Structure formats: structure tokens, C-alpha cells
Amino acid sequence: MPKHIHIEKENKTAKYNLEPIELVKSRKFTTAEISKIRILVEENLELFKNKWDEYFNK
């Protein structure tokens, strides 16, 4: 399973793979919101990858 994160807000969902950064799916987020989310993923990539490793490699 590739490293990924899920984003949820109200009735909106999205999933991004982290290596490489890639939108896998999105439901109800606008194009502008998806762009902002991608920027946040890029800015916090190392944190997300570290947290993934902590959680799944216990």
C-alpha cells in the first residue's frame, strides 16, 4: 500500500499519495480547494511521511 493521506471536511473527501504526490480521488472539493490541499501536502510532506512510518511501522 503506498503512503497516502485522507482529507475530510464536512461531506468532502480526498486522498493523496505521498510518493509521488498525486491526487488519487476527490469527492465534492472544488478545483481551488484541491489546489490548496496539494500545496499543504507539499509543505508538510516530511511530516506526513514520518507520521505514516510511525503509525504503520510500530
Mind listing the pLDDT tens digit for each residue in 38-54?
999 999 999 999 999 99
Instruction: Provide the domain count of the chain.
Output: 1
- pTM > 0.85: yes or no: yes
Angle at 55 between CA 38 and CA 42, to 5 degrees: 15
For the chain, what is the largest distance between any 2 Cα atoms, rounded to a whole number of angstroms?
36
**Is the pLDDT assigned to residue 58 strictly greater than 90?**
no
Which domain does 37 fall in, by range? Answer: 4-56
